[in-house]
Amino acid sequence: MCNSFDYSKLETILQKHNFKACNIIAILQDTQEIYRYLPKEVFSYLSEKLGVSRAHIYSVATFYENFSLEPKGKYIIKICDGTACHVRKSIPVLEALRKELKLSEAKITTDDLMFTVETVSCLGACGLAPAITINDKVHGTMTPEKALALLNTLKEEK
């Protein structure tokens, strides 16, 4: 195991869940909440502490879409591209954010780990189409201009 990785936070999470392998999803959720993704170091550590294989933990982490094995930004922006949002022009919103942040379909997180931009199939806010979320807070009737204004507000908060 890498000596520079701080395992004390993981130990606290494991204690909270009584070191039970049946709580693996909750353990991974809490881990991701702290690190904003699942660092590779956690798999061996959790395997050893929970008495389950790394492969099992990895399979859980990769099965559920909400888990990420790649670092994500402080602000996670999800652009809905479901039917209602798409028809009401969600793609120009996505393109404006990507252009401003110098991101692409392949590169979804800024180098400074401040912003991650993702598309999702549906946010469940069709009446507000096109909709985006920023850290799970819904923003509706979005335009490229409104999205960039929100982005600038977040940048100022840094």
- CA proximity to 110, closest of 137, 53, 59, 70: 70
Annotated domain spans of the chain = 8-63, 75-157
Q: Which residues are CB-contacts of 59 (< 8 A; sequence separation ≥ 6)?
A: none
d(CA 89, CA 132): 12
Q: Please, what's the b/e burial string for 77-88 (b: 16 or more CB within 10 A of its CB; e: otherwise)?
A: bbbbbbebbeeb
Q: If pLDDT is split at 50, 70 and 90, which confidence band does 80 have? A: very high
The pLDDT of 43-58, averaged and rounded, is 97
Q: Which residues are CB-contacts of 106 (< 8 A; sequence separation ≥ 6)?
A: none
Computed over every residue of the chain, the mean pLDDT equals 94
- CA proximity to 99, closest of 115, 85, 112, 113: 115
pLDDT tens-digit readout, 34-48 = 998 999 999 999 999
Whole-model pTM over 0.75: yes
Instruction: Say which DSSP state 68 is in.
Output: -
CATH superfamily of 75-157: Glutaredoxin (3.40.30.10)
Run of H or E including 144: helix 144-157
Q: If pLDDT is split at 50, 70 and 90, which confidence band does 3 have? A: low
DSSP helix/strand/coil, 141 = coil
d(CA 132, CA 141): 9
The answer, yes or no, to whether residue 116 has pLDDT greater than 80, is yes
Q: If pLDDT is split at 50, 70 and 90, which confidence band does 1 have? A: very low
